[in-house]
């Protein structure tokens, strides 16, 4: 009977704190701005993920000096074709390599939370900042696409997102998400796992730093990318979280990994 009554209890995550109405105008002038539809939907998703997923964030950096030179070169070469080559396609490619190596980062728990469903396809969601709020269009089968193709798709879907043109199929089916604030600034942040996915990469702005390397035996100016990986701790152990972040750094540090794309 005790077990039965426990099973019928509302899960802690479903209990909502009663909201108290506060008259803020008592202390000064205010104005009302209703949330957009996107803000409401995204807010609910984020709240559920925050309540239901025990998440940990692992931080790391990658020395992308060589990769940056390679990117600039590719950017220059594709300028005339009107293709904008940013860092994001490289990150998408690097993540795809790692998801193949760490399949449980590319999984979801089933509805009973008793079985892990590993996906053998690699669809990366990219957080896009729009006037209406945050949206996450998905680029499909990224492992089969070149850096240039990814650059083109990225520009198309982020424009479609900003012009409110995304269809339902374009925001579904993601297996892993990247949130890049690198074009804006800041050092590190802790992204929230995009449920039902189990891990997310947060990318911050790279900057020049003095780096000491055992091989060089001196400090050298290097272009360093800070990033963070948040993951569902029910599916991913801390050791694997650290391995994933370390390996991502290794993939990004070797520009040769991207040369045949
Ligand atoms: N370090 C240094 N520079 C970076 C960088 C990084 N990590 N990431 C991007 N940049 C540079 C780009 O290379 C580009 O410079 P160049 O013109 O010299 O090539 C410039 O910053 C602007 O990039 P961008 O932001 O336009 O393009 P992107 O491909 O990096 O990102 C998109 C595209 C759609 C992800 C981005 O525009 C965006 O919306 N970001 C916000 C996402 C967001 O809100 N996330 C938060 C979600 S959690 O609340």
- The full DSSP string for the chain is -HHHHHHHSPPGGGPPPPPPP--GGGSS-----PPPHHHHHHHHHHHHHHHH--EEEEEEEEE-HHHHHHHHHHHHHHHTTT----SHHHHHHHHHHHHHHSGGGGEEE-TTSSSEEE-SS--EEE-EEETTEEE--EE--GGGS-HHHHHHHHHHHHHHHHTT---GGGGS--SEEEEE-TTT--S---PPP-TTSSEEEEE---EEEEEEETTTTEEEEEEEEEEEEEEETTTS-HHHHHHHHHHHHHHHH-GGGGTT-
Is this prediction's pTM over 0.85? Answer: yes
Average pLDDT over residues 128-141: 95
Ligand 1 atom at minimal distance to the Cα of residue 89: 29
Is 86 a pocket residue for ligand 1 (Cβ < 6 Å)? yes
Closest residue CA from atom 21 of ligand 1: 183
pLDDT digits (tens, 9 = 90+) for 168-199: 999 999 999 999 999 999 999 999 999 999 99
| Catalytic annotation present for 233 | yes
- What is the model's pLDDT at position 17? 72
Is 74 a pocket residue for ligand 1 (Cβ < 6 Å)? no
Is 137 a pocket residue for ligand 1 (Cβ < 6 Å)? no
Is 128 a pocket residue for ligand 1 (Cβ < 6 Å)? yes
Query: Is the pLDDT reported for residue 30 higher than 90?
Result: yes
- What is the model's pLDDT at position 143? 96
- What is the model's pLDDT at position 19? 85
Is 160 a pocket residue for ligand 1 (Cβ < 6 Å)? no
Cα of 91 from ligand 1 centre, angstroms? 11
Quote the mean pLDDT of the chain: 93
Percent of the chain with pLDDT over 70: 93
Average pLDDT over residues 44-68: 96
Q: For residue 155, how many other CB atoms are within 10 A of its CB?
A: 16
Q: Model confidence at 229, in pLDDT bands (50, 70, 90)?
A: very high
Query: Is the pLDDT reported for residue 12 higher than 60?
Result: no
Q: For residue 183, how many other CB atoms are within 10 A of its CB?
A: 11
Ligand 1 atom at minimal distance to the Cα of residue 183: 21
Query: Is the pLDDT reported for residue 261 higher than 60?
Result: no
User: With 0-12 CB in 10 A as exposed, 13-18 as middle and 19+ as buried, what is 196?
Assistant: middle
Ligand 1 atom at minimal distance to the Cα of residue 191: 48
CA 52 – CA 10 distance, rounded (Å):
13
- What is the model's pLDDT at position 56? 98
Q: Model confidence at 10, in pLDDT bands (50, 70, 90)?
A: low
């Amino acid at each position: 009977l005790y077990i039965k009554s426990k099973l019928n209890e509302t899960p802690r995550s479903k209990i909502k704190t009663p909201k108290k109405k506060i008259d803020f105008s008592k202390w000064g002038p205010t104005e009302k701005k209703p949330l957009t539809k996107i803000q409401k939907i995204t807010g609910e998703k984020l709240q559920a993920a925050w309540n239901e997923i025990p998440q940990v964030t692992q931080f790391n950096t990658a020395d992308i000096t060589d990769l940056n030179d390679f990117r600039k070169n590719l950017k220059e070469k594709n300028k005339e074709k009107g293709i904008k080559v940013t860092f994001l396609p490289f990150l998408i490619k690097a993540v795809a390599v790692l998801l193949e190596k760490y399949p449980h980062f590319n999984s979801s728990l089933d509805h009973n939370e008793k079985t892990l469903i590993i996906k053998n396809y690699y669809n990366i969601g990219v957080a896009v900042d729009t006037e209406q709020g945050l949206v996450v269009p998905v680029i499909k089968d990224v492992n089969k696409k070149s850096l240039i193709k990814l650059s083109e798709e990225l520009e198309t879907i982020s424009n479609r997102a900003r012009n409110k043109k995304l269809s339902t199929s374009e925001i579904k089916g993601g297996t892993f998400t990247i949130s890049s604030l690198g074009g804006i600034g800041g050092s590190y942040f802790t992204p929230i796992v995009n449920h039902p996915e189990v891990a997310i990469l947060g990318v911050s702005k790279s900057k020049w730093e003095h780096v000491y390397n055992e091989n060089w035996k001196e400090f050298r100016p290097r272009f360093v990318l800070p990033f963070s990986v948040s993951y569902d701790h029910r599916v991913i152990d801390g050791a694997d979280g650290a391995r994933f972040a370390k390996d991502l750094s290794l993939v990004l540090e070797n520009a040769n990994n991207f040369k045949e794309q």
